[in-house]
Amino acid sequence: MKVIDAHAHLVHNPAGLDQIAESGEFEEIWIMDLSGIGELAGYQFADQAEVLEITRRYPGFFRAYGFIDLDRDPPEQVRKLRDLGFIGLKPYKQLKPYSDPGYFPLYAEAEKLGMPILFHTGLIAQSRRYSGEVTRGFGPENMHPAYLASIAEAFPGLSIVAGHLGWPFWEEMEENYYYYANITGDISGYRKCIDRLPALLDRRAHDGTDRYFNEKLHFATDEFYGTPESNARALKIKHFWELYFELIGSVYYRWGAPEEREKFFRGNALKLLKESLKES
């Protein structure tokens, strides 16, 4: 099945993208621009121009969310990023909790322009140590899933995407999906929680939409596309989830039925995309 990878990254000087695009495995891949961050987990990320370049080189296949610096960018930056061609926003390692009112003008602008925001939740990769000056956040403390609930209430028209299931703040994450229609999330990373996933995907939300959680969670790899190893890993992750849905889900659970599976692998992401592409 062709799937949408709704949360991925791109390395500097990426290689092997033609093969990925022509593999027949992916319908689309959404790149989160982390060029404001520099190096992470031993990878040098693509800069903004490189990210935009591949969205132009592979139109409708690679799409991108722009890096937004919650602590320093003015609200006008949101429109700027949209005009550059980004379909959503990606903050990272900000200094204060996501729900800090100081960030609200940016969220208001994103809501107005129909720019979804993908928020990392839970544990996070370690990067540079303290060097006498604090320019961005450390650890997961400002990235609790519960902060997204505050934003969801204040901005009901904003599409909030929670990355990675919020591990280890599992309960906060689950209540977000249960109560807030405008919070969805991706499954990338933290496969440790796989034992709880079957019940989670079959949980019915109480968010006014009568959806099950498999309609609120979508497929993503969080891979750093552009190196042979990460390109191969992305395919492996895709095959893992396909087999999981087919060989376990379809046999024992409601969420494994082909039409439910389809939502997880592409339908939910397409809904999000429709919002991003709406004129505003």
Question: Which residues are at the interface with Zn ion (CB under 5 A)?
Answer: 222
Residue placing its CB nearer to Zn ion in the complex, 40 or 110: 40
Q: How far apart are alpha carbons 77 and 68 in whole angstroms?
A: 8
Residue placing its CB nearer to Zn ion in the complex, 34 or 200: 34
Nearest residue (beta carbon) to Zn ion? 222
Residue placing its CB nearer to Zn ion in the complex, 172 or 222: 222
Residue placing its CB nearer to Zn ion in the complex, 92 or 213: 92
Q: How far apart are alpha carbons 113 and 108 in whole angstroms?
A: 9
Q: How far is the CB of 17 from Zn ion (least distance, A)?
A: 18
Q: How far is the CB of 62 from Zn ion (least distance, A)?
A: 15
Q: How far is the CB of 119 from Zn ion (least distance, A)?
A: 11
Regarding beta strands 43-44 and 39-40, do their DSSP bridges make them parallel or antiparallel, or are they unpaired? antiparallel
State the number of CA atoms in the 13 A half-sphere of 199 facing the CB: 4
Which residues have C-beta within 8 Å of that of residue 2, sequence separation ≥ 6?
A: 24, 25, 26, 27, 266
Residue placing its CB nearer to Zn ion in the complex, 218 or 261: 218
Q: Which contiguous run of DSSP H or E holds residue 224?
A: strand 224-225
Q: How far is the CB of 145 from Zn ion (least distance, A)?
A: 15
Q: How far is the CB of 39 from Zn ion (least distance, A)?
A: 14
Instruction: Count Cβ atoms below 10 Å from residue 133 Cβ, excluding itself.
Output: 5
Report DSSP letters for 240-253, one per residue. Answer: HHHHIIIIIIHHH-
Q: How far apart are alpha carbons 118 and 186 in whole angstroms?
A: 9
